[in-house]
Chains A and B, each alone.
Chain A
Amino acid sequence: MALLEVSNLGIAFGGLQAVDKFDLTIEKGQLFGLIGPNGAGKTTIFNMLTGVYKPNEGDIILDGQNITGMQPQKISKAGIARTFQNIRLFNDMSVLDNVRVGLHNQVHYSTVAGVLRLPSFYEKENIMRGKAMALLKIFGLDGVAKQKASNLPYGMQRKLEIARALATNPKLLLLDEPAAGMNPNETAELAETVRFVRDKFGIAILLIEHDMSFVMELCEKIVVVDYGRIIAFGTAQEVRNNPKVIAAYLGGE
């Protein structure tokens, strides 16, 4: 059975049908690309998958569980994590604390245990710290663990956001334009990281990206949307030569 099955997903804002009849099937461990011109509805799809928007119609099934229209925090627990197009870190908190917030539902102890500093507090905090540092190390952020998140350079902030999302132990990771604002070297490094994350954690990754070479090289399957509808679907090669895709990007008859 597929990891994520989306069928007939649609949402309208007032009279504008932002996404219409969107279908998607992602298998475990797949690297999936979601592309399309500006305003095509890509981020809207992400927002529906993560519960920020409630779809008007359609179903989202994650690993056999219907998560359509659930609250974001419940969808996070169900196993979808995401990053944001405009980076959303906890700016006034340390890098380490950002990841520890991500671990919130992985390591539990009660508020009372925290206030009274019961033994379970120390035990669980140690576990949390270890897990968080291990994640930071993967992204080369362990050296800046104590810095404020807002003080990091842009590229590191993007990495921290991915680390935080991974901390929630997701089955599916959604990356919204992870390479935005990066130079070619950083983009190549990011592609390596994304592949490494997929292999190491065995998760599926769905990413939105405008950097075509990045998407074409990295993703095993690509779905192209325009005006809220799917216009093409397939491997990089298939999508690249699809006349509808070329028309959508370059204009056409």
Chain B
Amino acid sequence: MNLKNLGRTARRNLVTYSMVIAAYIIIQVLAAMDLLSNSLSGQLIPICAYVIMAVSLNLTVGVLGELSLGHAGFMSVGAFSSAFFSVAVGDALPTPVTLVLAFAIGMIAAGVFGVLIGIPVLRLQGDYLAIVTLAFGEIIKNLLNAFYIGVDSTGFHVSMKDATALKMDETGRIIIKGAQGITGVNRMSTFTIGFVLVVLTLIIVLNLIKSRTGRAIMSIRDNRIAAESVGINVTKYKLIAFTVSAALAGLAGSLYAHSLATVVAKKFDYNTSILILVFVVVGGMGNIRGSVIAAAVLTVLPELLRSFADYRMLVYAIVLILMMLFKQSPQIKNFCRGIGERLRLGSLFHRRKAENSSSGKEG
């Protein structure tokens, strides 16, 4: 394939895909050679889940230009609905079927919540989405903390009080147990499944961006009034972007939930939402490859710097502030561009060729 014939975006996307595939192969080889530490191999599925989270949040924050502070809430919806399904089904279906259905349910459930939040809020302009998603994340967490759902021969029982209030007969088993969450989840997720889902997410998001729909979404970010003036249905395209973003967060939640024995709502709190936002900001808003790298690196780093773990949130806050300050600074921008050009061997080659030809003319 001739790389020159591809557009700039297509080439950039190709690099992103190759990078992810290369990372997967390297890790598989390392695992086969038994060179992965226990803590790192335990991190592989969470890394995939966080990469999906960061890429999907980037669709809302970087591509659509709306701030969402409750992305973990959608992850939580996906995690609980899919885990609920797979625990409720148990061994009734073959494992791959259960897995696919569970992931689909997690995605759809989170997508539905995305639509429900998006329809009223995305009609407004300004920071309303940030405020509402912030509240959504907290509400979902507290609701799931108080939920008890059990199943027995007569069907499902739901209570908001405690396990005994479910009034089940002797065949009953509790699926969601309040703050203790869902226990006994079949740990079906593997690193390969995570990798496949990351690639799937990248295909969805990158193809979406480089299509008629994606251009409409970005035009709203760049100039809402101009977008309206050329006939873009602003609410519709905001809703599409936000719903896809929420559904992918649900997918990440499903993946994550099936790597844990116990799913608890506490895991998907405000801190998690902010953590994912940090991935997006550090990786660069609208820069999908940056999100992948930032999510992977910033998930592994705290594990490597375990002794430093107490200061982790402090460091994140400082990194976030510094990034925002530096993003506005022309000197830093030029500095980064200079480094980027020096690192890009291709352009170095081109420049040398250009210099040669111009000096040739002079001579």
Contact = CB atoms under 8 A, between A and B. Distances in A.
Given A101-B215, A104-B216, A115-B207, A93 B222 contact: yes
Contacts of A115: 203-204, 207-208, 211
A111 B213 contact: yes
A73 B228 CA distance: 5
Interface string B212-235: 111110110111011111111110
Interface residues of A, number: 40
A64 B229 CA distance: 21
Nearest to A77: B231
A186 interface: no
A81 interface: yes
Interface in B268-305: 286
Contacts of B204: 115
A77 to B, nearest CB: 5
A238 interface: no
B231 A76 contact: yes
Interface in B185-227: 203-204, 207-208, 211-216, 218-219, 221-223, 225-227
Nearest to A82: B229
Contacts of A164: 230
Contacts of A128: 212
B222 A90 contact: yes
B132 to A, nearest CB: 23
Interface residues of B, number: 28
A101 B230 contact: yes
Given A114-B208, A114-B211, A104 B225 contact: no
A107 B212 contact: yes
Give the secondary structure class of B's interface: helix
A71 B204 CA distance: 31
A113 to B, nearest CB: 8
Interface in A46-60: 50-52
A28 to B, nearest CB: 21
A92 B64 CA distance: 12
A124 B226 CA distance: 23
Contacts of A93: 215, 218-219, 222
A111 B211 contact: yes
A200 interface: no
Given A88-B223, A89-B226, A104-B216, A73 B231 contact: yes
A239 interface: no
B219 A90 contact: yes
A52 B218 CA distance: 20
B8 interface: yes
B3 to A, nearest CB: 16
Interface in A77-119: 77, 81-82, 84, 88-93, 97, 100-102, 104-105, 107-109, 111, 114-117
A167 interface: yes
Interface string B1-16: 0000000100000000
Given A89-B226, A91-B222, A115-B204, A73 B234 contact: yes
A165 interface: yes
A98 to B, nearest CB: 8
A157 interface: no
A102 to B, nearest CB: 5
A71 B236 CA distance: 13
Nearest to B65: A92
B226 A90 contact: yes
A168 interface: yes
B212 A109 contact: yes
A114 B226 contact: no
A168 B230 contact: yes
B110 interface: no
A121 interface: yes
A92 B212 CA distance: 16
A165 B229 CA distance: 8
A159 to B, nearest CB: 15
Contacts of B225: 52, 72, 84, 88
A73 B212 contact: no
Contacts of A52: 225, 228-229
A51 B208 CA distance: 29
A101 B228 contact: no
A176 to B, nearest CB: 11
B211 A121 contact: yes
A146 interface: yes
Interface of B: 8, 203-204, 207-208, 211-216, 218-219, 221-223, 225-234, 240, 286
Given A76-B230, A84-B225, A88-B225, 19 more contacts: A52-B229, A73-B231, A81-B229, A89-B223, A90-B226, A92-B221, A97-B218, A101-B227, A101-B232, A104-B215, A104-B230, A104-B231, A105-B231, A111-B212, A111-B240, A115-B204, A121-B211, A165-B229, A167-B230
7 contacts: A76-B230, A76-B231, A81-B230, A104-B212, A104-B215, A115-B207, A117-B207
By Cβ-Cβ distance, the 6 closest A-B pairs, closest first, are A114-B211, A76-B231, A90-B222, A72-B228, A88-B226, A111-B213
